[in-house]
Amino acid sequence: MTDLQLRFTDPARYDVIAAAARAAGVGVEEFVMAAAYERALNTREQHPRWLQGTYRVSHHY
């Protein structure tokens, strides 16, 4: 995944994330995307009504 351009304002936070990515054997971008995906799945499980259309967007694109 080289299409992402992640910017970390806190060098210490980047170092921790980079170390975790190395330990998992993946790049930083893949590690961050996997974490974001996992968080989205957890949110969906905590708020199942989102899938039922109970929450509606008030504007259309």
pTM for the whole thing? 0.62
Query: Which pLDDT value is given to residue 1?
Result: 46
Residue 61 located in a structural domain: yes
Q: Name the DSSP class of 47.
A: -
Task: Give the domain extent around 55.
Answer: 29-61
pLDDT at 37 (0 to 100):
86
In a domain, 14, yes or no: no
Give the count of domains, the chain: 1
Each of the 61 residues of the chain gets a pLDDT tens digit; together they read 456 678 889 999 999 999 999 999 999 999 999 998 888 877 766 665 655 655 555 555 5
- With a CB cutoff of 8 Å and minimum separation 6, the contacts of 55 are 47, 49
Distance (Å, whole) CA 51 – CA 3: 29
Is residue 35 assigned to a domain? yes
If 0-12 CB within 10 Å is exposed, 13-18 middle and 19+ buried, where does residue 55 land? exposed
21 in any annotated domain: no
| 34 part of a folded domain | yes
C-alpha distance across the termini of the chain, in Å: 28
CA distance 28 to 38: 15
